[in-house]
Structure 1
Amino acid sequence: MSTTPPSQPVTPDLRAARGEQSAEDGAFGWFRALGPQGRRAFGGAFGGYALDSYDYFTLPLSMVALAAYFGLDSGQTGLFTTVTLVVSAIGGAVAGVIADRVGRVRALMLTVVVYAVFTVACGFAPNYETLLVFRALQGLGFGGEWAVGAVLVAEYASARHRGRTLGAVQSSWAAGWALAAVVYTLVFSFAGEDLAWRIMFWTGALPALLVVWVRRRVHDAPAATAAREQSPRRGSFAAIFRPGKEGAPGLLRTTLFACLLSTGVQGGYYTLATWVPTYLKTERGLSVVGTGGYLTFLISGAFLGYLTGGHLTDVLGRRRNIWLFALLSAVCVLAYANIPHGAGTLLLVLGFPLGFCMSAIFSGFGSYLSELYPAEVRGTGQGFAYNTGRAVGAVFPTLVGFLADSWGVGGALVFGAAGYGIAALALLGLPETRGKELA
């Protein structure tokens, strides 16, 4: 009789005990762990979110030119952002339901087409009212893309690396922002402002190329497809608001606190994203090229912040990572808004930690929200929570716009810091989910 002991499953922990390496080890182990299909899903989500970012920033970067062209005050220009973000809540919630009912990839393609079409339409707007309507409709696609792409990749990612994998997807926002800043610098340097803002919106047609690739190469995770087909309650708004009963926990508490968390973080972020370019030009007197230089530091910090935050959310946990960067982001906002005039070098240098912190806090969102909801309502829950935060958080940049005439843009930016305080409080009602397996 053989005395050979039965074989033992080789887990990552066992490999570590033996001193062995697995395919998931190393700096890019998170990427190898996705597998061929997962890597293509990552590429689709990364590209979609980068172009989502590009199309979003065509407006803030063109804000000064738009205000001059249509004769707008600060409140009217701030309303552009508010309308975009409020309507994005509707788009995000609807896209989440579509993702749960017909699949992540189909929903992803739909959102990309919608935000691309209406970004281009903005370039043809003859007046302020028409531009406001087109920007609102652009928000329908803008709101859904991130939530759908994040769920798609989360369901391929391993529990061990889900935070850094989704953090890498999130970093594409900085890539799209950087591309928009480069195009802005070129377009506004070689074209008059009356035409340049239109050209910026017309370049929003780029995402159409991505849709063709996604349709051919990207597929939903098999486990997610099986869960969708087996569940009769998939994509249900009622399910994410169902209170808990004895022996059957509900999702109402999770949804409420997730919305509050998203509101705080995005209220702070969109205040900065919307008003920093205007702040640099109107209160700091920077030229187009000068503003681009300052934004380079801000965007570089944002890109590294996404990657670092993604790593830390796996190491520290979802809640600790958000708490840490909520505090640091609030400190950076207050410091940035109160730099004395004439301290140009300090303004430049502080842009890097500002971009780093306000982006690192987002890195855990994709993994955290995906882990808070079961498969049959994962898209619905994540889409609703994230985009409700966008809609309510949209009050912050509008408030800054209306106060800018009396307080100055720099003074009004303090409301961004208040948003991060709200986010920190919201975490008291949510559990830690690091290491959770997704069915």
Structure 2
Amino acid sequence: MATSSASQAVTTQREPDRSTGAFAWYRTLGAPGRRAFKGAYLGYALDSYDFWVLPLGLTAIAASFGLSKPQTGMLATATLVFSALGGIAAGVLADRIGRARTLMVTVIAYAVCTALCGLAPNYPTLLVFRALQGLGFGGEWAAGAILVAEYAAARHRGRAVAMVQGAWAVGWGAAVLIYTAVFDLVDEKLAWRLLFITGALPAVLAIYVRRSVTDAPAYTAQRHTEGRGSLSAIFGRDLRKKTVFAVLMSTGVQGGYYTLATWVPTYLKTDRHLSVVGTGAYLTFLITGAFAGYLTGGHLTDRLGRKLTIRLFAVLSGLLIVGYTQLPASANDYILVLGFPLGFCSSAIFSGFGSFLSELYPGRLRGTGQGFTYNVGRGVGAFFPTVIGFIATRYGVGGAMAFGALAYVLAFAALFGLPETRAQELS
């Protein structure tokens, strides 16, 4: 018996602590949580891919249909406005039918509609298909981020959800690679259509989600709670202030980001006079910085707190967007290098979003609250690209983009109305 006890003690001593280390956030998810993470990660990467095919093909689309800059900006705005509607609907749906099932529905929706954009015969039809794509695009993040947040341990939640956010840079990078190859090999009148059609591939992910991904116990234990998924409830006396200020914060961060997302490829071509290959090289610095920013921001949001991390990167993003767009024409080498910190900061600010918004609401309203605040912010922020399009007719694309820095001022100020939620357990 003594030998057995000693052996057991040695075994216990050698047993690794799964709650510490660089990958503790992943190990502590458990097997079901890791499957959910893979589904959410791939869903968001492919969501990003299907979003980016529009900004990358925007110049060719404008040339094909003879579009003005305001009309061009409206394509991005329509995507984001309808993504707000899709995100709100998906948030309510996630509370009512489950996070995993909602994730599957949204992936199919954005994949099919992206492919249809490649078949559009004219501008009005493209505008309609792109708006419909926005419904699925907006809903995927709401379902996937909550799914992972509910599996993650409180001390690692920021990093776990930030890793899902990091998938955005992966999808962005894939889109740039495919864009560079297609536009280099095929005439641009056909190339932008082929780029959209490749967006149908994410539909395959729905099969994995259907077979392997399940909701977390935090959700399933409360599945039959009355009042689940109510928009009116997030404006009740106890949640109204959180909802309003979370929308303002989300509006600022996304207004600034989508100014960059929509207009940087056009800015590099028109103001900086770069070729397709040259644009791809510059975007590589931006994307590499974005990926590093997501990972670093996730660590900081668990160490410094949600609010301080978002404030820090709001200030840096605002300063960098001005610097990136206002350097003289002879400073292209500096623009190349500046792309890394710009991508880093404008992406790191999102790392705490999924965990922060999940922690602001109780379980029965988590999908509705997060889906509403994030996506209404996205819908309002969506008008920034269109406004930039109008301003660009007078000041040029680079001059107009500098106004996007004002969005980050709004995000900074909105945080004064929200509580800190770091290390908070989810009900």
User: Which category of TM-score, normalised to the shorter sequence, fits these structures?
Assistant: over 0.9
2:353: which partner in 1? 365
In 2, Cα distance between equivalents of 1:312 and 1:345: 30
In 1, Cα distance between equivalents of 2:327 and 2:338: 9
Query: 1:358 aligns to what SS in structure 2?
Result: helix
Verify: 1:222 aligned to 2:222, yes or no.
no
Verify: 1:341 aligned to 2:329, yes or no.
yes
1:264: which partner in 2? 252
**Richer in helix (by share):** 2
2:379: which partner in 1? 391
In 2, Cα distance between equivalents of 1:21 and 1:264: 43
1:405: which partner in 2? 393
1:284: which partner in 2? 272
In 1, Cα distance between equivalents of 2:64 and 2:263: 18
CA deviations on 1:305-328 (whole Å, 9 max, x unpaired) are 000000000000000000000000
Q: CA deviation at 1:422?
A: 0.2
Moved more, 205-214 or 305-314: 205-214
In 2, Cα distance between equivalents of 1:347 and 1:58: 23
In 2, Cα distance between equivalents of 1:254 and 1:110: 28
In 1, Cα distance between equivalents of 2:223 and 2:240: 21
1:198: which partner in 2? 193
In 1, Cα distance between equivalents of 2:180 and 2:98: 39
Q: Do the aligned residues in 1 keep the contact of 2:294 with 2:347 (CA within 8 Å)? A: yes
Query: 1:160 aligns to what SS in structure 2?
Result: helix
Q: Choose the corresponding residue for 2:403, options 400, 411, 415.
A: 415
Q: Choose the corresponding residue for 1:147, options 142, 162, 166.
A: 142
Q: Do the aligned residues in 1 keep the contact of 2:256 with 2:408 (CA within 8 Å)? A: yes
Q: Do the aligned residues in 2 keep the contact of 1:228 with 1:375 (CA within 8 Å)? A: no
Verify: 1:301 aligned to 2:289, yes or no.
yes
Q: Do the aligned residues in 1 keep the contact of 2:326 with 2:398 (CA within 8 Å)? A: yes
In 2, Cα distance between equivalents of 1:273 and 1:372: 28
Verify: 1:238 aligned to 2:232, yes or no.
yes
Q: CA deviation at 1:223?
A: 2.3
2:422: which partner in 1? 434
Q: CA deviation at 1:340?
A: 1.0
2:5: which partner in 1? none
Query: How do 1:161-176 residues align onto structure 2 when only pairs under 5 Å count?
Result: 161-176=156-171
CA deviations on 1:143-176 (whole Å, 9 max, x unpaired) are 1100110000000000000001111100000000
Equivalent residues, number: 416
- Percent of aligned positions with the same letter in both sequences? 65
1:275: which partner in 2? 263
Query: How do 1:24-39 residues align onto structure 2 when only pairs under 5 Å count?
Result: 24-39=19-34
2:6: which partner in 1? none
In 2, Cα distance between equivalents of 1:101 and 1:389: 23
CA deviations on 1:250-299 (whole Å, 9 max, x unpaired) are 11111000000000000000000100000000110000000000000000
Q: CA deviation at 1:21?
A: 6.2
5+ residue gaps in structure 2? Answer: 1-12
- CA RMSD in angstroms, aligned pairs only: 1.3
The one-letter code of the counterpart of 1:305 is G
Q: Do the aligned residues in 2 keep the contact of 1:171 with 1:306 (CA within 8 Å)? A: yes
1:112: which partner in 2? 107
Q: Do the aligned residues in 1 keep the contact of 2:326 with 2:402 (CA within 8 Å)? A: no
Q: Do the aligned residues in 2 keep the contact of 1:93 with 1:144 (CA within 8 Å)? A: yes
Query: 2:229 aligns to what SS in structure 1?
Result: coil
So what's the TM-score if we normalise by structure 1? 0.93
Q: Do the aligned residues in 1 keep the contact of 2:161 with 2:351 (CA within 8 Å)? A: yes
In 2, Cα distance between equivalents of 1:119 and 1:323: 34
In 1, Cα distance between equivalents of 2:307 and 2:133: 32
1:10: which partner in 2? none
In 2, Cα distance between equivalents of 1:386 and 1:332: 24
